[in-house]
Amino acid sequence: MADKFEVLEENLEQFIETVRRLGIIVSDFPPQGQNVLNQKVNSMITTLKEIENCKSAFADVQIPLEVFDYIDAGKNPQLYTKDCIEKALMKNELVKGKTDVYRKFRKELMSQLTTIFPEQISEYKKIREES
């Protein structure tokens, strides 16, 4: 059996093609074209029913709402994934930078505290090693 996404994609492509052909027929409608028009409308209805039947297979699929914003803006929805990855990489770099700064600060703080409070820092280091 074909993957549920493939079935849906085929149905959507068929629906789009039927609507495209229906638009062509309607734009230059001859009186003898009524039967062809009826066939296309029936084909469109059948395809919509098939798409409706597919919806139960997608109950577990969750799509971020931002994807629809991309589609509404005329962008490729796959760009959403790319943008999310880029944002995650930028956030990762920011967090990494903060972590590095905190490490340097801790090292400098320990160095300064060791000079000012050598006994207490030595005791602190012993406690840290034990735990």
Length of the chain: 131
> 63-98 pLDDT, tens per residue?
899 999 999 999 998 889 999 999 999 999 999 999
Please provide residue 100's backbone torsions phi and psi, each rounded to the nearest 5 degrees: -60, -40
**pLDDT above 70 (res 11):** yes
Q: Tell me the domain boundaries of the chain.
A: 1-61, 63-131
> 19-67 pLDDT, tens per residue?
998 888 888 877 787 888 888 899 999 999 989 988 888 888 888 999 9
pLDDT of residue 108: 96
**This prediction's pTM:** 0.53
More confident residue, 98 or 1: 98
pLDDT of residue 126: 92
CA distances from 16 to 9, 11, 64, 70 (A): 10, 9, 24, 20
CB-based contact 114:121 (threshold 8 Å): yes
Residue found under tokens 């296309």: 40
- The C-alpha atoms of residue 37 and residue 22 are separated, in whole angstroms, by 7
